Amino acid sequence: MTVTRINVGPVHPSTHGVIRLVVDLEGDTIVNVEPHIGFLHRGVEKLAESRMYMQIPPYMEKLDYVAPMSYNEAYVATVETAMGIQVSERSQYIRVILLELQRIASHLLSLGTLCNDIGQTFTAFMWAFKDRDIVLDLLQEATGSRMFYVNMRLGGLREDLPADFSEHTLNTMDYLEKRIPEYVAYLEKNPIFTERMKGIGVITRDEAKQLGVTGPVLRASGVNYDVRRSNAYYVYSKLHFTPKSLQDGDNFSRYKVRILEIQESVRLVKSALKALPEGNAKGMQVKLRSPNPVNRISVVNRELPKGECMMYMVADPQKPYRLSIRSPSFINLAAINHMAKGERFADLFGILGTLDIIMGCVDR
């Protein structure tokens, strides 16, 4: 049979962001997928070399604009490691609470857009965005901003939590605990959804390890690897965090791992709020001159909603000499050819949806 070559994107309703996929088809079956990236490249790593240390967080937030705070925190933690600054215990707890709220928001968005892509049009999208807005309201209450927060400071945060935050968050978490089973019932009892998810886009355990994918994509393939446990930062070990993993490695398990992670994050937020100690949460004020770094090279890895991020920084006084970012989306995107080979063309967008890539993070 002849091979047809089809171009998808760079502007296509189902590609989140701008990515171009060149797809070779044999009939309706995918033979090869070749992603072309770089439509959002803006040279963050190069720009960081010409900025002072605390001028960089706003740039870091725009890497993954669905979960901005996670990248911001990873960068600030790198600078803290370079300068040898300790984070107070209360700040650690608050950071964990905010990061987990951010993870819930990110996974809800991924769920909503995924359902949009595979033809589960609009009900789940509306639900997910409504619940995401509720979580964003909490973050807005804590940081004063809706999407880009820039609230991490060296050694702590810009502001302590407001007075009512704990009560509001507990109420919202109770609501989400009741709400998530509704999503599960609505989606998993629907034969259209399960038919398009189960057994589609399989990536085996060995393939996943060889490709270096991380995050929910890796955990859906049966590898129980999570930086929050393997390299437990902050207070994750105190909160008895357990990573969630499934065995099948198909679209369905990637979706299901995200649902389980939302539930785990809800539990983490609740227990962190209960154990929240008193103390000082304010970090250093932003000044143009920052303390001189004590470590020339610092490496920090963090579990972002999309996967494992690693930041490598070579520090000069006042400015980074080099900042290198291992972005999880970029490496997860490399798996798309392995997942999509042999599937139908229409399932390509389900696979793209469950991969949950953010193009700002891929292109940098």
Partner 1 sequence: MTDNEIDTNSEEFMDSKKEMDKLVYESIKEKEVKPNAIFAKLSDLTRSMPVTKDVVNWARVNSMWPLQFGLACCAIELMDFGSSRIDAERKGYLLFRGTPRQCDVMIIAGWVTKSMVPEIKRLYEQMSKPRYVVAFGECATCGGPWWESYNIIKGIDEVLPVDVFVAGCPPRPENLFAALMKLQKKVGGNVEG
Binding site for partner 1 (CB under 8 A): 10-13, 17-18, 38-43, 46-47, 50, 58-59, 62, 65-66, 109, 113, 125-126, 129-130, 132-133, 146-148, 359-360
Residue 11 beta carbon to partner 1: minimum distance, rounded to whole angstroms: 5
Nearer of residues 131 and 250 to partner 1, judged by Cβ: 131
Strands (E) across 149-296 are located at 152-153, 156-157
Residues 319 and 53 sit within 8 Å (Cβ to Cβ)? yes
Nearer of residues 125 and 252 to partner 1, judged by Cβ: 125
Nearer of residues 17 and 156 to partner 1, judged by Cβ: 17
Nearer of residues 227 and 361 to partner 1, judged by Cβ: 361
Nearer of residues 1 and 288 to partner 1, judged by Cβ: 288
Nearer of residues 150 and 173 to partner 1, judged by Cβ: 150
Residue 101 beta carbon to partner 1: minimum distance, rounded to whole angstroms: 16
Within 10 Å of residue 190's Cβ, how many Cβ atoms? 14
Nearest to 135 by CA among 24, 295, 266, 323: 266
Q: What's the token pair of residue 14?
A: 């189902």
Within 10 Å of residue 230's Cβ, how many Cβ atoms? 12
Contacts of 250 (CB under 8 A, 6+ apart): 197, 198, 199, 200, 201, 202, 220
Residues 22 and 34 sit within 8 Å (Cβ to Cβ)? yes
Residue 122 beta carbon to partner 1: minimum distance, rounded to whole angstroms: 9
Nearer of residues 60 and 154 to partner 1, judged by Cβ: 60
Phi-psi region of 144 (alpha: psi -120 to 50; beta: other; left: phi over 0): left
Interatomic CA distance for residues 239 and 245, integer angstroms: 19
Distance of CA 207 to the CA centre of its chain: 22
Nearer of residues 213 and 358 to partner 1, judged by Cβ: 358
Interatomic CA distance for residues 282 and 153, integer angstroms: 8
Residue 90 beta carbon to partner 1: minimum distance, rounded to whole angstroms: 29
Residue 361 beta carbon to partner 1: minimum distance, rounded to whole angstroms: 11
- What 8-state DSSP symbol labels residue 190? -
Residue 206 beta carbon to partner 1: minimum distance, rounded to whole angstroms: 35
Residue 24 beta carbon to partner 1: minimum distance, rounded to whole angstroms: 22
Residue 10 beta carbon to partner 1: minimum distance, rounded to whole angstroms: 6
Residues 96 and 235 sit within 8 Å (Cβ to Cβ)? yes
Interatomic CA distance for residues 152 and 260, integer angstroms: 27
Residues 76 and 59 sit within 8 Å (Cβ to Cβ)? no
Residue 52 beta carbon to partner 1: minimum distance, rounded to whole angstroms: 14
Q: What's the token pair of residue 88?
A: 């107070």
Nearer of residues 145 and 280 to partner 1, judged by Cβ: 145
Residue 157 burial by Cβ neighbours in a 10 Å radius (0-12, 13-18, 19+): buried
